[in-house]
Amino acid sequence: MSLKKKIILGLAVILIGIQFFQPLRNQSDEVTASHIERVYNVPQNVKAILTQSCYDCHSNNTRYPWYSLIQPGAWYMARHIKKGKEELNFSEFGEYSARKQRNKFRAMAGQVKDGEMPLSSYTLIHRNAVLSPEDKQVLIAWFSTMEDSIK
Can you give the pLDDT at residue 80? 82
**Residue extents of the structural domains in the chain:** 25-149
Confidence check: pLDDT of 84 > 80? yes
- Give the pLDDT confidence of 20-36 residue by residue, as tens digits: 777 677 667 777 888 99
d(CA 121, CA 79): 13
Assign 133 a pLDDT band (cuts: 50, 70, 90).
very high
Q: Cβ contacts of residue 71 below 8 Å, gap of 6+?
A: 15, 18, 19, 21, 22
d(CA 119, CA 129): 10
Can you give the pLDDT at residue 26? 66
d(CA 30, CA 10): 43
Confidence check: pLDDT of 100 > 90? yes
Assign 17 a pLDDT band (cuts: 50, 70, 90).
confident
